[in-house]
A and B are shown apart, each in its own frame.
Chain A
Amino acid sequence: MIKINNIIVLITASLIALFLFYLSFRGGNSAAYLLPRTYSVILASIVIILIFFHIRKKNNFYKELNLKKIFPTIIFIILFILYGEDLGFYFSTTLIFFFITTFYSPEEKSIKNLIKAGIVCSIFMCFIYILFSLLLKVQVPGFILFSLANS
């Protein structure tokens, strides 16, 4: 569990503002970059206001982030971004769906519950296949699964 306080908010906001400020003022043609520069100056100004509020100790922001719990899903999302297109959408999203429904299930991780999750997953993915590939005729990256139907 990560405890988020105002310092973390300030650091993140400053990094975002600095990064966008750098990108905006690095560009060549000044006319095309006029508005991005204006927005980045606004962002930088707001960071200064946030710092001012913090120095005056009037901003007692506090929240919690359960990184341990969401971390596996973030990893799955990164893996999907890296390999999702190569593995095919049906295969990779089936894995994601099955992972989320089993890993985050409050029920005991027994064979019976895994089979139950597998059945739900199969039915839902069949629905997705009918909706997107058959009805909407969307050509998603297929890999081995459903590649014939998409071709």
Chain B
Amino acid sequence: MEFLNYFGEVFSFINLITLIFGTIGGILLGAAPGLSPTMAVALLIPFTFHMPAEQGLIMLGAVYTSTIAGGAISAILLKIPGAPANIATVMDGYPMAQNNQSKEALHYCFISSLVGGVIGIIVLIFFTPILAKFALKFGPSEMFWIAILGVTVIATFDSGSVTKGIFSGAFGMWIATIGTDPIIGVERFVIDPIFAGGVNIIAALVGLFAIPQVFSLIENKLNESDIFQMEKRKLIDSIKYNISRVKALTVGSVIGTIIGLIPGVGGQIAGLVAYDQIKKFTPTKAGRFGKGEPDGIIAAESANNAIVGPSLVPLLILSVPGSPTAAVLLGGLLIHGIFPGPDLFTNHPKVVWTFIDSLLVGQFFMCIFGLYISGLAKYVLKTPVHYMAGIIVVLSIFGTYSVQNSFADVIVMLSLGTFMFLISKLGFSAAPIVLGIMLGPIAEANFITAKLIADTQDGILLYLLNGPINQVMIGLCILSIAYGLYGEIAKRKIR
């Protein structure tokens, strides 16, 4: 029950204000079509660099949670999911809005998100310390394989193609080797002295996630359809009905929690699986799904918010993010000098527990503010996309520069971003590259340590392959690649 000791920290004036601003800002960012939670968190990281660690993480956590819930606003009112996690919400949310029930749909969305989110955070609170105790058995070889597993899993699940995903991951890990070698001190691929310290994580994060979004916004005009007017609906009626939908809430929350614990699987999978399952669990309503059935929204929204907490369990202990947004959050931890690992709760208990507690409190704020500002969010929905694109470019430039007052970081950010947009057109994905850049140094440091130990024993190959944990990790790497390849081949056969 250590988490209770740090609850007071969340309610300190500055942390509370940060949480409130992060939540409101996250809901509005989420409501803006085309701005994904991953991009929102990436764009915010440079700003949190100037804050104390707890405050910065509270801000990032609040934005992560609330952008997913906020994304339902545009899904319901515009038929455009604000985030990939809201794809399933469109299916019944938009028909409800067409049936003059938009306010009711938004109520269900935020109440269900609260239920799913709280269950997910409780899993995070109780699972993480257990996993941490287990992870204390990990040595350099296990940590090396964990880093490889992190990249492999994200590469397999977050890409349309496994081969391209692994290519992106290996490319990211290669980028991470730019700079001075950590043991021998040799400079590698340093074309200019500014790269002696390697590629700055924040510049890479902002570039890889924000700049391609700008190009996408200006390349594809989003539909500018009419926004539905809100009907009169009592909140208490929505709460009563929502709580009575126990089956939909349970299916959504349980599926979201389980999927969140699997590294690399995003909220969109959770939402779609929960939507599919609630259809199967309620055969009597089968014909009503897709035509404005509240259970569809309740299951999808409770699932996509339930993944937030569990997706952080493997991230905090093993550096393996549960979702692409969690991968970006890893960057937020690293810039504050917090390295995820088994001893995280021993070395930084205040920072980590305050962050987790803030996620729990943030769920309630997300619901309260979401219910009240969802009406105002229609103005955000009307923001023209070309203004949005301009705002992202300027914030990216200033945000990246502000981290180390380095113009070279801005050049890296813009170059990597433009390059990413072009290769995204070839089917390559940003998340594995980012994870490669972040986990590359962890893999290299542990590989070198393992090599030094192994040189006195049977050699590096046997050292890396021996031991049950190593073998499980290698097995999981192979399994995730094989599963991805199987899915890819099956997809091609269907075509």
Contacts and interface: CB of A to CB of B under 8 A. Distances in A.
A151 interface: no
- B174, B183, B186, B218: residue with the most chain A Cβ atoms closer than 10 Å: B174
B415 interface: yes
Contact of A132 (B171, B389, B398): B398
- A49, A63, A65, A77: residue with the most chain B Cβ atoms closer than 10 Å: A77
Interface string B348-384: 0000000000000000000000000000000000001
16 contacts: A8-B426, A16-B171, A17-B167, A27-B188, A35-B443, A35-B447, A40-B174, A46-B163, A63-B427, A74-B418, A96-B394, A100-B218, A120-B387, A128-B395, A132-B398, A140-B402
A85 B444 contact: no
Nearest to A121: B390
Given A35-B177, A50-B163, A97 B394 contact: yes
A85 B407 contact: yes
Contact of B405 (A96, A105, A139): A139
B423 interface: yes
Interface in A58-101: 58-61, 63, 65-66, 69-70, 73-74, 77, 80-81, 84-85, 89, 93, 96-98, 100-101
Interface in B214-238: 214-215, 218-219, 221
B122 interface: no
Interface string B154-171: 000000000110110011
Contact of A73 (B189, B215, B410, B425): B215
Interface string B104-139: 000000000000000000000000000000000000
B45 interface: no
Contacts of B385: 104
B453 interface: no
A143 to B, nearest CB: 13
Contacts of B418: 74, 77
Contact of A81 (B415, B422, B443): B415
Contacts of A93: 393-394, 397-398
Nearest to A53: B163
Contacts of B173: 35, 39
B379 to A, nearest CB: 15
Given A4-B426, A42-B170, A106-B221, A100 B393 contact: yes
Interface of A: 4, 8-9, 12-13, 16-17, 20, 23-24, 27-29, 31-33, 35-36, 39-40, 42-43, 46-47, 49-50, 53, 58-61, 63, 65-66, 69-70, 73-74, 77, 80-81, 84-85, 89, 93, 96-98, 100-101, 104-106, 120-121, 124-125, 128, 131-132, 136, 138-141
A84 B405 CA distance: 14
A103 B414 CA distance: 20
A131 B189 CA distance: 36
Contacts of A121: 390
B391 interface: yes
Contacts of B181: 29, 32
B425 A4 contact: yes
B163 A49 contact: yes
B411 A81 contact: yes
B184 A29 contact: yes
B245 interface: no
B393 A39 contact: no
B401 A43 contact: no
Nearest to B417: A77
A131 B394 CA distance: 12
Contacts of A66: 219
B280 interface: no
Given A40-B174, A46-B170, A53-B163, A138 B218 contact: no
Given A33-B188, A63-B425, A104 B391 contact: no
A138 B177 contact: no
B240 interface: no
B59 to A, nearest CB: 14
B28 to A, nearest CB: 15
Contacts of A32: 181, 183-184, 186, 188
Given A60-B495, A81-B415, A96-B393, A36 B218 contact: no
Given A43-B167, A96-B390, A104-B386, A84 B410 contact: yes
Given A43-B174, A77-B414, A104-B389, A138 B398 contact: yes
A44 to B, nearest CB: 10
Contacts of A24: 174
A39 B174 contact: yes
A89 B398 contact: yes
Interface in B403-436: 405, 407, 410-411, 414-415, 418, 421-423, 425-427
Contacts of A9: 164, 426-427
B386 A101 contact: yes
B401 A100 contact: no
Contacts of A16: 171
B50 interface: yes
B398 A128 contact: yes
B166 A46 contact: yes
B407 A141 contact: yes
Contacts of A27: 188
B463 to A, nearest CB: 15
A114 B351 CA distance: 48
A101 B447 CA distance: 48
Contacts of B189: 23, 36
Q: Across chains A and B, which 8 residue pairs bring their CB atoms closest together, nearest first?
A: A32-B181, A104-B386, A32-B186, A100-B390, A97-B390, A39-B174, A138-B402, A36-B177
Given A63-B427, A124-B394, A39 B170 contact: yes
